Amino acid sequence: IFPNKDLKIDNVQRDLLDALLRAKRSSENNNTSTHDVGLTEDPVLMTVGDIFRAGVETTTTVLKWSIAYLVHNPPVQRKIQQELDNKTGKDRHPQLSDRGNLPYLEATIREVLRIRPVSPLLIPHVALQDTSVGEYTVQKGTRKEWKNPELFDPGRFLNEEGDGLCCPSASYLPFGAGVRVCLGEALAQMELFLFLSWILQKFTMPAGQPLSDLQGKFGVVLQHKKFKVIAKLRADWEKIPLMQQC
C-alpha cells in the first residue's frame, strides 16, 4: 500500500494515512523532527489495521444489538417507522440532515448504547456500607444508576414533550470521555442512524420463536450471540419496484 519512494507527496493532509505516510517519509529523509520516532512500515500497517478493526467491529456489534432489541420490542419498531413515515415519507431515503427530525430513532440508538455498551467497564462495583460522595448519600448495596436499568425504554432519552432528546444521567458515556474518548464517535453515530433508518423505513422484523438471548458474550467487545432474523418488506414498499427502492 505504500507509494513509490520517488512519488511526490502533496501537502494536503486528507486523513490519518496521509499523516502517517508523511511521518514515515520524513523519517526516511532524516528529518530531525521525526527521525527519532523510527516510523517504519510495520507501525503504519498496525495503526491502519487498528482503525479498521475498531471502526468496523464496534459499529456492526451495536447494529446487531439494535436489531435484537427491536425484534424483542415490536412497539418500538412501529413507533420508529411511524416517525420515519411522517418526517421523511417514502419518496426518498433518510439523510443525515433528518437526524434532528427523528428524535425517537435517535433515542433508540442511545438506549441500545446504554443497555448494551460494546465496551463495558470492568466489573460492576457496589457500595459495601452506607457512605457519601461529596454532598450525595450512597446507601449500602447501591450499584445501579438508571431507573429500571434492564428495561429497554428509548423514552428515557426524550424530553417531557417527547419531541426532543435529553440526557437523563451524567454517567451516560458510551464512547468514553476525556483523552480516552472514542475517536470514531461522530462517524459511528452517523453510521448507526443511516443503517437503522434505511432498514426500518422498508422492513419490519417480526419477533421469531424463540427470541434471541440478550445476555451477550464477552470478547474484544460485548457481542450478541448468533441469531436469525426474518426481515419482511413493509406493505407500502411491496408495491414499489425493487430498482426504485435502491
- Residues 117 and 222 sit within 8 Å (Cβ to Cβ): yes
Domain, as residue range, for 87? 16-245
CB atoms within 10 A of CB 83: 19
Q: What pLDDT shows up at residue 7?
A: 44
User: What pTM was computed for the model?
Assistant: 0.74
* pLDDT per residue of the chain (246 residues) written in tens, 0 to 9: 445 444 445 567 777 778 878 877 777 776 545 445 556 778 788 877 777 766 777 888 899 999 999 999 999 999 999 999 999 998 899 999 999 999 999 999 999 999 998 776 545 567 888 988 888 888 888 777 788 888 999 999 999 998 999 999 888 888 888 887 887 888 889 999 999 999 999 999 988 767 888 888 877 678 888 888 889 999 877 666 654 555
The answer to whether residue 7 is domain-embedded is no
How many structural domains is the chain composed of?
Answer: 1
The answer to whether residue 8 is domain-embedded is no
CATH number for the domain spanning 91: value is 1.10.630.10
The answer to whether residue 26 is domain-embedded is yes
182 is in an annotated binding site: yes
Q: What pLDDT shows up at residue 14?
A: 76
Per-residue cell: 45? 500497517
Half-sphere exposure (Cβ direction) of 116: Cα atoms closer than 13 Å:
28
Q: What pLDDT shows up at residue 245?
A: 57
Q: What pLDDT shows up at residue 122?
A: 47
Query: For residue 169, what are the contacts with CB-CB under 8 A and spacing of at least 6?
Result: 145, 146
SS3 string of the chain?
CCCCCCCCCCCCCCCHHHHHHHHHHHHHCCCCCCHHHCCCHHHHHHHHHHHHHHHHHHHHHHHHHHHHHHHHCHHHHHHHHHHHHHHCCCCCCCCHHHHHHCHHHHHHHHHHHHHCCCCCCCCCCCCCCCEEECCEEECCCCCCCCCCCCCCCHHHHECCCCCCECCCCCCCCCCCCHHHCCCCHHHHHHHHHHHHHHHHHHEECCCCCCCCCCCCEECCCEECCCCCCCCEECHHHHCCCHHHHC
